[in-house]
A and B are shown apart, each in its own frame.
Chain A
């Protein structure tokens, strides 16, 4: 009798990403940051250094596997690496504060300019170097996730959220020109991250359900996302937060391999709508559960989503920095129970 192929973090992750064989249990991964103050203390690597020093960035990302037991490592913790390279003034924050772009320097199409040496900009280069280090140390055994921001989010950074959203109505042509120009940043950075050693790249693009309609996504962003996916070639995960129940099918059309979603979207409904045409990654709630809840609360949500049939288990979005480490480990513990829940009715929506 031949030995079964062992289920390793990398195999589980890749299999979940492409909706493949299920092994003994669901994979647990992190398309967005799982860094907390406690994780910084345990690794001895802190914000803001970890945003700007590739060794520290890789070291802190590795903590997600070494300390929390996730199947993947993901080194881009902030939403501002590209913003700084494009000219925003960034406050890189502190161990208890995420970085933020302080200025929105491009209000006009004419001002839009992508630096020629984009990948050489320190805030971009650091991510590529961190991915190379992670590939070297963990590439054979752990899933490696890269992350870039899509042109919609980059427009928020460069023009300001409110201005950009208003343009969708009063100056749609300007919106299209912003997206058309900035998609090149997304594509260039994504390709470089795959070449540096990422197994897959997350494309975070916040045309979120809380801000814009599905029609706005369809009219402005869908064709851009289709082009991005065509041109990148390698695997991609869409991260788009908020309640997106009304636009799930559009993400299938956009050509992503997987969609990373929030707890506001019911996982049973999502699995039914997506019908395994792309994979679903999610969706343990930050508010009130990972942050502010107990490991038992995390367990209940995790088991609900496993029973619902999501492909990979993950926090719904970048976790708050004060998230207790036990709650993050509780996701992995819930996954280790396998696919069938002991003593928990899948009908009980937590």
Chain B
């Protein structure tokens, strides 16, 4: 896609009107642009630019939430077309906020960025008990699991979940952790495979873990 075309997607994701994204996606489909190109080179590239702007402090959480809302609408329109092409996701990612913790903005930002990166994301939501993580891992076999906590009290749930995952599966998924109180030091102490200090970093770490076959 040309720079100008990418710009249209970017502007659509920044627009407060949902219909703007719908229009851009549908116009491209009518022009016979392959749906996978619209997704990867249009919607997701635009979302990545927005993610970088967020990381650089040029835009704020409301703008990212808006872009994610618009992106999801775009993906929704593309989905039936993409299924015809049997698109393979980049990888499978399970994420949840630990038991006792009902904060989800950070987790949702990671979900949006990972979706934007082409992962199939299974979001378990908030207040997720250890058993639920194990159940989903055994059913869906994700490549990577993300565990989030916003409180210094609830982040202490993390080591137990990590141990349980490693004890329950012969080929456990890689585990990344994050959330406001979580530090790189803490992530190392509890033997997580990776630490995402923010949503963009979480995606980078996930990509790295996937590219190295899971070696940290």
A and B pair up: yes
Instruction: List A residues at the B interface (Cβ < 8 Å).
Output: 96-98, 100, 102, 161-162, 165-166, 168-170, 210-213, 216, 286-288, 291, 320-322
Nearest A residue (CB) for B57? A246
Beta-carbon contact of B181 and A320 below 8 Å: yes
Q: Is B11's CB within 8 Å of the partner chain A?
A: no
Q: Are A213 and B153 also in contact (CB < 8 A) when A97-B100, A287-B183 are?
A: no
Q: Can you list 27 residue pairs at the A/B interface with Cβ under 8 Å?
A: A97-B151, A97-B154, A98-B153, A100-B102, A102-B102, A161-B105, A162-B104, A162-B105, A165-B65, A169-B16, A169-B62, A169-B63, A170-B16, A210-B61, A211-B61, A211-B62, A212-B62, A213-B60, A216-B62, A286-B152, A287-B180, A288-B183, A320-B151, A320-B152, A320-B153, A322-B152, A322-B153
Cα distance, A318 to B100, chains bound together (Å): 18
Beta-carbon contact of B62 and A165 below 8 Å: yes
Beta-carbon contact of B16 and A162 below 8 Å: no
Q: Which of B105-119 contact A (CB under 8 A)?
A: 105, 108
- Residues on A with C-beta less than 8 A from B61 are 165, 210-212
Cα distance, A246 to B50, chains bound together (Å): 21
- Residues on B with C-beta less than 8 A from A288 are 183
Q: Is B69's CB within 8 Å of the partner chain A?
A: yes
Beta-carbon contact of B66 and A170 below 8 Å: yes
> Taking each of B65, B66, B105, which has the highest tally of chain A beta carbons within 10 Å of its own beta carbon?
B65
- Residues on A with C-beta less than 8 A from B181 are 287, 320
Q: How far is the CB of B176 from chain A (nearest CB, A)?
A: 19
Instruction: Give the secondary structure class of B's interface.
Output: loop
Cα distance, A170 to B18, chains bound together (Å): 10
Residues 171-183 of B, flagged 1 when their CB comes within 8 A of A and 0 if not, give 0000000001101
- Residues on A with C-beta less than 8 A from B104 are 162
Nearest A residue (CB) for B17? A170
Nearest A residue (CB) for B61? A211
Beta-carbon contact of B102 and A166 below 8 Å: no
Beta-carbon contact of B62 and A168 below 8 Å: yes
Nearest A residue (CB) for B58? A213
Cα distance, A322 to B156, chains bound together (Å): 11
> Taking each of B62, B105, B181, which has the highest tally of chain A beta carbons within 10 Å of its own beta carbon?
B62
Q: 3 shortest A-B CB distances, which residue pairs?
A: A320-B152, A165-B62, A211-B61
- Residues on B with C-beta less than 8 A from A166 are 62, 65-66, 69
16 further A-B contacts with Cβ under 8 Å, apart from A102-B102, A161-B105, are A98-B151, A162-B105, A166-B66, A170-B66, A211-B61, A211-B105, A212-B62, A213-B59, A287-B180, A287-B181, A288-B183, A291-B152, A320-B151, A320-B152, A320-B153, A321-B153
Nearest B residue (CB) for A208? B61
Nearest A residue (CB) for B69? A166
Nearest A residue (CB) for B16? A170
Q: How far is the CB of B113 from chain A (nearest CB, A)?
A: 15
Nearest A residue (CB) for B14? A169
Beta-carbon contact of B153 and A216 below 8 Å: no
Cα distance, A212 to B59, chains bound together (Å): 8
Q: Which of B74-105 contact A (CB under 8 A)?
A: 100, 102, 104-105
- Residues on A with C-beta less than 8 A from B16 are 169-170
Residues 41-72 of B, flagged 1 when their CB comes within 8 A of A and 0 if not, give 00000000000000000011111011001000
- Residues on A with C-beta less than 8 A from B183 are 287-288
Cα distance, A322 to B152, chains bound together (Å): 8
- Residues on A with C-beta less than 8 A from B102 are 100, 102
Cα distance, A203 to B61, chains bound together (Å): 23
Cα distance, A169 to B65, chains bound together (Å): 10
> Taking each of A102, A213, A216, which has the highest tally of chain B beta carbons within 10 Å of its own beta carbon?
A213
Q: How far is the CB of B104 from chain A (nearest CB, A)?
A: 8
- Residues on A with C-beta less than 8 A from B59 are 213
Nearest B residue (CB) for A319? B152
Q: Are A211 and B60 also in contact (CB < 8 A) when A162-B105, A291-B152, A321-B153 are?
A: yes
- Residues on A with C-beta less than 8 A from B69 are 166
Q: How far is the CB of B20 from chain A (nearest CB, A)?
A: 12
Beta-carbon contact of A216 and B108 below 8 Å: no
- Residues on B with C-beta less than 8 A from A168 are 62
Q: How far is the CB of A97 from chain B (nearest CB, A)?
A: 5
> Taking each of A165, A288, A322, which has the highest tally of chain B beta carbons within 10 Å of its own beta carbon?
A165
- Residues on B with C-beta less than 8 A from A212 are 60-62
- Residues on A with C-beta less than 8 A from B66 are 166, 169-170
Cα distance, A97 to B152, chains bound together (Å): 9
Cα distance, A286 to B59, chains bound together (Å): 26
Nearest A residue (CB) for B104? A162
Q: How far is the CB of A37 from chain B (nearest CB, A)?
A: 10
